[in-house]
Amino acid sequence: MGKAIYGLSIPFENYPCWNYDEDGGTYTFERINPKGIMTDGLVGMLEGHSFDKQLGRTDDGTLDLYVNERGLFFRLIPANQAALSCYKRVKRNALRHCSIAYHIQKKDRVRIPVDEEKIKQLQALGDDKIIFQELRKIQLYEISLLNNPGQDGTFCTTDKHDYRLQGIDWERPIQLTKGKIKQ
């Protein structure tokens, strides 16, 4: 296979996405439930969430998705000028991360024991309000390449053999249909 961009668009481990509300002094940590990712059968890839910079789509064979216990991975085959330009920037490490766009169908506030250490660290800094949320159901419609991700742990690379991609069977992408993405 020729040129491709690979990456992790949704990490499932820990709580990779967080926000801080200065007015309320509240940290909100979010993670996406791996079993709750749904699509309408089409996911597009853009640069920087800009619809005038379309890089690929799952329905035209330029974007494949892969899921395992670590996250939702992708492979983009650059087939237009915008995608080729992004490929060059990813190759020279000038474009390094991903973001997603989705509609939230269901979310729950959760508190689990493994987060107690993180809670204590934040409270030691004087922040008493800490919320953990699990997005139980989302409808994914876009993945974007950019440098300021909303979730920690995302990445993109042109190296198919990058250690972070270990265990991905690039010959077996998931088949997108309306409804849940199957692991």
* Each residue's pLDDT tens digit, 63-104: 999 988 888 899 999 999 999 999 999 999 999 999 988 888
Question: 62 falls in which pLDDT band (50, 70, 90)?
Answer: very high
Domain positions in the chain are 5-169
Count CB atoms within 10 A of the CB of residue 2: 5
What is this structure's pTM? Answer: 0.81
Coil, strand, or helix at residue 60? helix
Average pLDDT, the chain: 82
Higher pLDDT, 39 or 88: 88
Give the pLDDT score at 43. 92
Q: Taking 70 as the threshold, does the pLDDT of residue 108 lie above it?
A: no
User: What does the alpha-carbon distance between residue 140 and residue 40 come to, in Å, rounded to a whole number?
Assistant: 8
